[in-house]
Structure 1
Amino acid sequence: MVAATFTTGAFVPQVYKTWKEKSTKDISLVMYTILLLGVLMWLYYGFSLHSLPIMIANLVTAVLLIIMIILKLIHK
């Protein structure tokens, strides 16, 4: 759970900064989209194992990535 908290929490400052500054020029839409696909695969894996830490960490990460992708599309 500690590792999941750190890796998931690492996205929070970027989401906050992007939300606050409304600037996404240095953010790669392709990278965030590929990362989202990988996180969704981990989420599926967590559900198949019934592993709460894997499910929670990847669900939260997926939400943060979706927010970033939406912000990127809005603030081109």
Structure 2
Amino acid sequence: MNGEWLGYVAATLTTVAFVPQAVKTLRTRDTRAISLGMYLVFTVGLCFWLAYGIALGSWPMILSNIVTLALAVLILTLKLRHG
């Protein structure tokens, strides 16, 4: 197993770990316990991780950060709408 496969496994696990929070937030629209500051910083950080993955040409990094960024933006949007 080379390093790239390790990247795919790590990227899959960390991205899938984010799904339950997104699903729960979508279903309940309850964002009171979610920190706006944390999600703002996290979303900006994901943008930088995505840019870094693109610069390296690392597909595990690129794909996982696209998916996680989409989920984070979804949660952030709900937080901004529903407080």
Question: What is residue 46 of structure 1 aligned with on the other side?
Answer: 53
Q: CA deviation at 1:9?
A: 1.1
Q: CA deviation at 1:45?
A: 0.6
TM-score, normalised via structure 2 length: 0.87
Mapping of 1:20-31 within 5 angstroms? Answer: 20-31=27-38
5+ residue gaps, structure 1, are none
* Pairwise CA RMSD: 0.7
Q: CA deviation at 1:41?
A: 0.7
CA–CA distance in 2 between the matches of 1:17 and 1:37? 22
- Give the count of matched residue pairs: 76
Q: Which has the larger radius of gyration?
A: 2
5+ residue gaps, structure 2, are 1-7
TM-score, normalised via structure 1 length: 0.95
The 4+ residue runs of structure 1 with deviation greater than 2 A are none
CA–CA distance in 2 between the matches of 1:15 and 1:67? 7
Counterpart of 1:41, as a letter, is: F
CA–CA distance in 2 between the matches of 1:14 and 1:53? 22
- Identical aligned pairs, as a percentage? 46
